[in-house]
Amino acid sequence: MNVGSTVASWLKGLRLLYDDECEGPTGDSSLVTLSQSATAYFANGVRVALLLRALSHDGELSLDTIKELHTPVARLYNWNVLIPILHAMGVDVDADMKVLIVAGDLDIVADVLEQLHGSGSGSGAAKRQGNQGMQQPRAAKETTSVAQFLAFCCTEQLGVSWEQAIELVRAPGHKALAKQQGLGVRGEHSAAVRWFKLVFAHCKHLGALCAGDASEAELALSAMRGGLGSFSPDVVLWCSRLLCRLAADLAHRGTQADTLWAFFSRPNGGAAMLLDAWRMHAELRPDGVLLPLVLHFSGEHLDRFFTHVLPRHLPAPGAYWSFTLELLPLLAGSDGTRGFLAQSGTLRFLLQRALEVCRTMSAPATRGLALEALATLWSLFAREMQELSLTDIDEAEIASSLEALRQSEGGGMGGMEGGIDSHEGAAGGKEATSVVLGELKRACRDPEFELQLTAHMQLFRLLDQFAAMTHPVAPILFKVLAFSLIENHHEPVLRQFLVRNMQHTLQQQPFIPVGVLLKPLVKQAILAPTS
């Protein structure tokens, strides 16, 4: 664990730290590295308890229940005991900070020591005059403006003087600060990580400084966004966490949503940085740590994010749908968001855009992503799509394509397609689910084999989901796939693919009536020429 040199000297004076426990300065001469043993006892709260006892007025603070074990359970117990005492002494440790401490985050422990040192309980250090009359505070909670708070964090973690910190904070566009966040110092990003952690630890105080003042909120957000452009995934991770937490806090305090949206939506704003991070750090995608930024900052402007902001930064359809496919499960996780997508026309827009890509001469991979988007929208928003009419989505083209599909099928359906025809006919080519099904069916006969496989994969995925739910559309999907298997009996590769997936589906759903498949398939096999 690293602590400031003044804090280390202070702890030595209180006999809570010894010379042989200090392993010398780090690359930053203002920081001292504590030994593993000393770090462990501060992290589990034992020496923090001794420090609190030493700082108490009577020196008789009862902390006899503190456990000297180094397990997560012991850390949780000890800090649950310590936090009320810390609050009484004016040290801010909220629930999020406690979680990080118990998880082993040493930077938060170091910040607690810094707060105790600067609280006036033992420091005695006078405030120093800064640039333009701004005073240097002794603790984060003493700051009275966003600029002062950010400058304090810079002096604590970036190894700069107070005057330099003020210049970093007040510089137009925060270019120098963004450079440190993005590139690090000589390729080292630990200082930037500590900076974001420190701000995160005092996010509630920062939110209070921003509340009700759009310019203060803008200053705070602008100073942080450079972290999303960092080459370090750890910096990006902490920057994303911080931005989400600050946005949630500001929303809770009643800060106008337009302030968050303005920061996020401008050409060089938060969305641009988010998408840069998404492209640069594929390793962060499985955890989905970047995507919540869209919800926190878009709010009721989510429709404009899909219609204007996202196309501006990801104009290529392939990139647009790759990002959207990752975002859709998050959007579907909230009933409120689901309802907003349907009511605002966003769901309709996404369906329309995906259909347009499917019907263009784009690369098969791009069209495949659009097909996957159609199936995913149906899968995640089945209830909303049942109530959605697509009468304004090139109705003539849809009707023409469906009619061509029916004519190409002819009488070869062997009576199995009656249910599908009636389903499409009932919707008149207008119901969203009918349109999506028609597009997937058409792709099953596309000249591009890659697209055929994609369409069949999506149909099987939908069948597995809807069959498990006993959804009324499941028999229709089964009939579509059954007919495709019969129709493609002469194509060995596609036939093998369909047979294996059909076998898997029947194993998962044993109550599916296989008679509708077996009779025509046996007939097709008998009529097929022998090799």
Burial state string for 122-151 with b = 16 or more CB within 10 A and e = fewer than 16: beeeeeeebbeebebbbbbbbbeebbbbbb
Domain for residue 291, yes or no?
yes
The per-residue pLDDT for 476 is: 87
Would you give per-residue pLDDT tens digits along the chain (531 residues)? 888 788 888 888 878 888 888 876 644 456 788 888 889 888 988 888 888 877 775 555 667 788 888 888 888 888 888 888 888 777 878 787 888 888 888 888 888 888 888 764 443 333 333 344 467 888 888 899 999 999 999 998 888 889 889 988 888 778 888 888 888 777 789 999 999 999 999 999 999 999 878 888 989 999 998 999 999 999 999 999 999 999 999 988 876 678 899 999 988 899 999 999 999 999 998 888 899 999 999 988 999 999 999 999 999 999 999 999 999 999 998 888 888 998 888 999 999 999 999 988 788 999 999 999 999 999 999 989 888 877 544 444 444 443 433 443 333 333 333 333 333 433 344 688 889 999 999 999 999 999 999 999 999 999 999 988 888 888 888 888 888 888 887 888 988 888 898 888 888 877 766 655 566 656 655 655 544
The per-residue pLDDT for 397 is: 45
The per-residue pLDDT for 272 is: 94
* Residue of 190, 197, 201, 250 lying closest to 221 (CA atoms): 250
The per-residue pLDDT for 412 is: 34
Residue 284 tokens, joined: 């962060």
The per-residue pLDDT for 128 is: 38
Residue 412 tokens, joined: 């070869």
* Residue of 362, 381, 276, 258 lying closest to 323 (CA atoms): 276
Q: Name, in order, each residue with C-beta under 8 angstroms of 127's C-beta and a sequence gap of 6 or more.
A: 135, 136, 137, 138
The per-residue pLDDT for 473 is: 87
Domain for residue 292, yes or no?
yes
The per-residue pLDDT for 160 is: 87
The per-residue pLDDT for 119 is: 64
Taking the model in full, what pTM does it have? 0.72
Helices 175-183, 190-201: inter-axial angle, 10-degree rounding = 110
Residue 164 tokens, joined: 């330099």
User: Does residue 302 share a domain with residue 164?
Assistant: yes
Residue that is last in its domain, among 270, 287, 312: 312
Cβ proximity of 48 and 67 under 8 Å:
no
Domain for residue 391, yes or no?
no
Residue 278 tokens, joined: 């998404």
Residue that is last in its domain, among 312, 331, 364: 312
Supply the range of the domain harboring residue 15: 2-118
Residue that is last in its domain, among 118, 141, 164: 118
Q: Cα 500 vs. chain centroid, distance in angstroms?
A: 35
Domain for residue 430, yes or no?
no
Domain for residue 277, yes or no?
yes
User: Does residue 177 share a domain with residue 72?
Assistant: no
Q: Name, in order, each residue with C-beta under 8 angstroms of 487's C-beta and a sequence gap of 6 or more.
A: 412
**DSSP string computed for 45-57:** THHHHHHHHHHSS
Domain for residue 387, yes or no?
no
Alpha helices in 417-514 (DSSP H): 418-427, 432-443, 449-468, 474-487, 492-508
User: Does residue 288 share a domain with residue 148?
Assistant: yes
User: Does residue 150 share a domain with residue 292?
Assistant: yes
User: Does residue 282 share a domain with residue 182?
Assistant: yes
The per-residue pLDDT for 527 is: 57
Query: How many domains are there within the chain?
Result: 2
Cβ proximity of 454 and 461 under 8 Å:
no
User: Does residue 60 share a domain with residue 107?
Assistant: yes
Q: What are phi and psi of 211, to 5 degrees?
A: -55, 130
- The residue whose two tokens read 């701000």 is 199
The per-residue pLDDT for 224 is: 92
User: Does residue 199 share a domain with residue 61?
Assistant: no
The per-residue pLDDT for 512 is: 67
Domain for residue 240, yes or no?
yes
User: Does residue 167 share a domain with residue 89?
Assistant: no
User: Does residue 112 share a domain with residue 140?
Assistant: no
Q: Please name every residue paired with 431 in a beta bridge, in sequence order, or none if there are none.
A: 389
Domain for residue 305, yes or no?
yes
User: Does residue 248 share a domain with residue 103?
Assistant: no
User: Does residue 297 share a domain with residue 173?
Assistant: yes
User: Does residue 230 share a domain with residue 253?
Assistant: yes
